[in-house]
Structure 1
Amino acid sequence: MRERDARTRSELAELQGDMLAALAEWVRIPSVSAVPDHRADVVRSARWLVAALRAAGFPVVEEWETQGLPAVYAHWPPEDASAPTLLVYSHHDVHAVKDEEWRETSPFSPVLRGGRMYGRGVSDAKGQALCHLWALRAHVASGRSAPAVGVTLFIEGEEEIGSVNMADLLREHAGKLAADVVMVSDTMLWSLTDAAVCVGVRGSVNGRLEVRGSHADVHSGAVAGTAPNACTELARLLSQLHDEKGRVALPGFYDAVAPLSSRERAELDAIPFDEAEWLRQSHTRSVRGEHGCGVLERIWCRPSVEVSSLLGGDAEQPSRGVIPPSARADLLLRLVPDQTADEVAGQLRRWLEGRRVAGYDYELTVSSTISDPYLTPPEHPALAALERSMSRAVGHPPLRMRNGGAAPAAQLAREIDAPVLFFGTGLVDDRWHGHDEKVEIQALCQGAETLAYFLEDLAVNVR
């Protein structure tokens, strides 16, 4: 095995320059799915990936059109027809940018500096998607005519806007997406030094709450103290989302929350957590949230409700001295086993119904792109194969962690009828969705090496 691993590392090292150049070229395409003016760029991004996959040797590569933005599908059959098939999910669209906030480089002008690459999408998630291509090229270069397992890639173009057409793609192309194991590559590592395999993600529900008071802007000098103030009423409602101990106040919100097992608690306790370092890396000011739970338990294993945006009045204009007629807030709810997105959406609606007061109109809209939480079956042989592969790449057995964000894992598990693994190369300080997004080159290298070994191990141990 040492000789084989050395050969794999040599192949990966030879490919490193080409793969980093490819990542930089791909990142230069501003595939921002949330901005209509960038629709053509998302199409260009998909076609760039199609060409890259064909050049790498995939015999089947297709661009899949949707009612919105395109996805990319590719399949490479295994050398041995009886070998299992791995389906890899990721995305090629990126989050919107505020150019004026970037300091290291312009968002779509990637640069290498200090062992890092900066640019929108280098970590979330173009770098993660290219790790699979890097691993495959090294894997096949070792003398194979094809991968040891079947490899299918499903790289969508609408993840950053809620994967609005993914359900249709999964149903329409069910036969092509059939697999024995699914891997979601849109997740984070714990650190470069303390390797950990992600074994679960939270679910999500997105809601928009709008409150309407007066019929139009009203001059405060005429009605102050008597007119319904939408901003004040919205603030009253939002203040009731949590109790004095930081617990979410939706009726029945915790009824289905599964308690941690002794094994899960031990896995959580094994993560080397330093609060001061975590605050620095996550760019947060302090630790808040549910009393009686540690930080990692709160972000990985407990549900939450956050206000992600507030809008009321003319915040960008000089004060006009008016009482605004409407105000709105966007809510982001994170779920854990055994909550379901549909049940929590109902709890949110019932919470609002119990707090309406006369003199205001209320509207709650729940996004259709909700997702359930998911945990990888802890004893599945594919998870053991991934842990062995990471151990070979980093030199010591990995820990187990979760991710606090959401991913369409539960949906993929249901539609594909296969267990879902998670493997990504992001870090908490990569600033996903923020300015100066970066990726550590070491994380990409270790990720590609892990995935190359995983293809071998999966072929032997999962049938």
Structure 2
Amino acid sequence: MAALWPGPRPGAAPVPGALEAVVQALRERADASLAELVEFAGIPSVSAQSAYAPDMERAPGWLAERLNRAGMEGVALWPTAGHPAVYGQWLGAPEAPTVLVYGHYDVQPPEPLELWNTPPFTPTVVGDRLYGRGVSDDKGPLLLSVQVLGAFLSAHGRLPLNVKVLFEGEEEIGSAHLGDLVAQRAAELKADFVISADGGMWSADFPSLTVSGRGIAALDFSVYGPARDLHSGRHGGALHNPLHAAAALVAGLHDAAGRVTVPGFYDGVRELSSEQRAALARLPHSDAAYLDLTGAPDVYGEAGYSTLERQWHRPTAEVNGLWGGYTGEGGKTVLPAEAHVKLTCRLVPGQDPDDVLDKLRAHLRAQTPPGVRLEVHPSDHTGRAYALAADHPGRRAALKVLRDLYGQSPLEVGMGGSIPILDTFRSVLGLETLLFSFAVGDENIHAPNEFFRIGRLYEGQEAWARLLWALAND
């Protein structure tokens, strides 16, 4: 696979002389780097399902051992009330800045298994892509940062600046215990700012830097009717069907124009300026290409906003699951005893997750019809929206690195998804976070047939090397 190491792009700046040995070391290890990713992604570290508990112990151990081999110091597994975090450091540059590198080793569940073309935990190379659960989110982007640290230490015996790493195992379940860990270990995590290996680029066709992300608030609710499933012929029409009631509650979350109907939901939400809307309109986005990518027949959403405005800068309320009654083969005429719904809201600056959850609970209770009982179960999966200031030195350095690497000015884009720990780093440690990932938004993350472009592994390695050098020298 070394042949997939990308050559210089037209207009790309040459590798700084001080980095030539580092990049050469990475180039020589190209096949080994890919083999390591195959091994790492072959560990089914699914944090959401207890059946994978042994693998959730194996993955951080593998990662700690890799950090030790890279030459990092103080490598340890930091326990939490859930899955452990992996820590390491190199602090041999007292006059240089200190960065905290963040990523996560846990992955989403692989279901539905029947839709995978290759086994999700047997990473498989197909052409210039590696298929497998977690290869893009976040094991490939995380691992390449470790490989770069190892290349610096093997080529020069030192890093250009001080580096601490913190890799967690609960990002896919809302970083439920990482906030407490960060608060407890605040002194050890002291740094100038964070570089996140999580996140992603907007498009494979254009270099981009993600500078904002939406927040999140999640809850489940259940609707209960009779004490047990009943015959729908004998009892239908005489008792309220919990599935009907749940469907009505879901349908009542939006009006005909796609706007969320929860009272007070938009409190604090700021409208985009005309300049911001114009800048978004200039991005190389096509609704037709987006529909081709997603396979949907048409775009849909809050009226009066473009697709990118809806994805990056407007709040949403989305149903992630709705079930109840009989769903097996054939028919079974039952009036179900209960129905269940999972909801997540994506939030924008000005919205507080706890406030949104309070309003959502009140709305659901007010709209619950007679004849059924509602139970609401909030989730710990919450986080505020995030944006990195335009004048942040990490942002300036990353833009220059991407320009030098790709030979063209990168796009500055938003992210519709959420990384709750960004708010924790800001509120607990006072640190801003630069999102510097080489995953791409079309790589089927959280879906069957997740993949990672192998060339991005190597592009990401060179970019991280350039970034660490630039932060130390500029």
TM-score, structure 2 as length reference: 0.92
Does residue 137 of structure 2 align to residue 124 of structure 1? Answer: yes
Match of 1:50 in 2: 64
Match of 2:85 in 1: 71
Match of 1:423 in 2: 436
Structure 1: gaps of 5 or more residues: none
Q: 1 CA distance for matches of 2:429 and 2:279?
A: 28
Shift of 1:90: 1.0
Shift of 1:109: 1.2
Shift of 1:318: 4.0
Shift of 1:223: 2.1
Deviations along 1:141-179, one digit per CA (max 9) or x if unpaired, are 553x32122111111111122212111211221111111
Q: 2 CA distance for matches of 1:285 and 1:207?
A: 29
| 2:381 aligned counterpart, secondary structure | coil
Does residue 462 of structure 2 align to residue 449 of structure 1? Answer: yes
Deviations along 1:103-145, one digit per CA (max 9) or x if unpaired, are 44211111222111111111110001012112223344553x3
Match of 2:46 in 1: 32
Q: 1 CA distance for matches of 2:272 and 2:462?
A: 32
Does residue 207 of structure 2 align to residue 195 of structure 1? Answer: yes
Q: 1:65 to 1:185 in 2, by over 3 A?
A: same
Q: 1:320 to 1:102 in 2, by over 3 A?
A: closer
Match of 2:14 in 1: 2
Which range moves more in the overlay, 350-359 or 187-196?
Answer: 350-359
Shift of 1:350: 2.1
Q: 2 CA distance for matches of 1:353 and 1:110?
A: 46
| 2:100 aligned counterpart, secondary structure | strand
Aligned AA (1:448) = Q
Q: 2 CA distance for matches of 1:252 and 1:129?
A: 39
| 2:362 aligned counterpart, secondary structure | helix
Q: 2 CA distance for matches of 1:283 and 1:123?
A: 21
Deviations along 1:360-413, one digit per CA (max 9) or x if unpaired, are 211111102211111011211211011111111111121100111110211121
Match of 1:14 in 2: 28
Q: 2 CA distance for matches of 1:340 and 1:78?
A: 40
Aligned AA (2:103) = S
Matches within 5 A, 1:51-450: 51-79=65-93, 81-98=94-111, 100-143=113-156, 145-262=157-274, 264-316=276-328, 318-408=330-420, 409-450=422-463
Q: 1:270 to 1:17 in 2, by over 3 A?
A: farther
Deviations along 1:65-115, one digit per CA (max 9) or x if unpaired, are 222212111111142x02111111111011111374254421111122211
| 2:165 aligned counterpart, secondary structure | strand
Structure 2: gaps of 5 or more residues: 1-12
Q: 1:358 to 1:113 in 2, by over 3 A?
A: closer
Q: 2 CA distance for matches of 1:249 and 1:396?
A: 43
Aligned AA (1:315) = T
Q: 2 CA distance for matches of 1:9 and 1:452?
A: 8
Q: 1:343 to 1:458 in 2, by over 3 A?
A: same
Aligned AA (1:441) = I
Q: 1:270 to 1:137 in 2, by over 3 A?
A: farther
- How many equivalent residue pairs? 459
Q: 1:98 to 1:328 in 2, by over 3 A?
A: closer
Q: 1:218 to 1:102 in 2, by over 3 A?
A: closer
* RMSD of Structure 2 on Structure 1 (CA): 1.8
Question: What percent of counterpart residues are identical?
Answer: 36
